[in-house]
Structure 1
Amino acid sequence: MANLDELLPTAKEIRKQSALKEAEKADQEMRHLAEAEAEKQALIDELSKPSGLSEEEKIKRASTIIQRAVRNGLHEIQVYRFPNILCTDRGRAINQMENGWEKTLTGIPQEIYQLWKDYLQPRGYKIAYQIIDFPGGIPGDIGVTLSW
């Protein structure tokens, strides 16, 4: 018969191996969470900066989105979705429909609002910014809907 210690480790050794495996899994999960958080922060940083597009490019993009929606028989379309952190108050004024809510916008969401104000509103388009999800019961992402 082969060596019993090689065939059947003690319960203490098995618990130690199991604990090491659990620690490895936890460490790997923490690395994945940290990577995901870093990616999310990089995206938020990117969205909080100006897009760098010219007014003409912005208008062309808006026109393309509108024309595609019209071809599909729509009267409105969600044109953008962004995390509430891109509002100076995390979306509170939007959620409460307060006057001046647009002053809380930053980055690309603010650019979209300004494009609408300058070019689309005078042509009869409407825009709505609203909280579109409530994770854990608190305001989450904000959707931008354009209608005609």
Structure 2
Amino acid sequence: MAGIDDILPNARDNLRKAAEMEAQKAAEYMKKRQAAEAEKKELLDRLSKPSGVSDEERMKRAAAIINRAVANGLTEVEIARFSNKLFTDKGRAINQMEAGWEETLTGLPKELYEFWKKHLEPRGYHIKFQIADWPDGMPGDVSMTLMWR
């Protein structure tokens, strides 16, 4: 016949096992969080550098996005959303609608703005940058919308 120690562990052993399980969960969480942070940093690094996309390729992409939006009856389309870290002031000038806000653009947002200015604005397209979300009450991502109304 099995003894009580074989059937029912003592309370101290249960507490130790629960603490070990919590520590394991915390370690797994931190590992996932560090991986996500590394991935986010790599993405920001990539977006802050020249994309290498030619104007010809970018025009094809823009035409595909615009044509699909028009076919769906839209007069505007969000074409990108960026971390506010890609703006020299973290999006403050955009939020305040200050003159010269475009000077705060860096990396891919700047590339897309310059493409619009050179190729799309002369064809009647408008662009809008705005704060897209407010985590903890602070400006978060910046949305870039192309409009043709």
What's the TM-score, normalizing by structure 1?
0.95
**Corresponding residue of 1:62:** 62
Task: State the 1:133 CA deviation.
Answer: 0.7
**Corresponding residue of 2:18:** 18
Task: State the 1:131 CA deviation.
Answer: 0.4
**Corresponding residue of 1:50:** 50
Q: Structure 1: how far apart are the matches of 2:5 and 2:72?
A: 72
Structure 2 unaligned spans of 5+: none
* Percent of aligned positions that are identical: 56
Query: CA offsets, 1:73-113, max 9 Å, x none?
Result: 11111111111111011111111111111111111111110
Query: CA offsets, 1:22-75, max 9 Å, x none?
Result: 111111111111111111111111111111011111112111111111111111
**Corresponding residue of 1:8:** 8
Q: Structure 1: how far apart are the matches of 2:118 and 2:105?
A: 16
What's the TM-score, normalizing by structure 2?
0.95
Question: Which runs of at least 4 in structure 1 moved beyond 3 Å after TM superposition?
Answer: none
Alignment of 1:139 onto 2:135: no
Q: Structure 1: how far apart are the matches of 2:74 and 2:4?
A: 74
Q: Structure 2: how far apart are the matches of 1:9 and 1:118?
A: 74
Task: State the 1:4 CA deviation.
Answer: 2.2
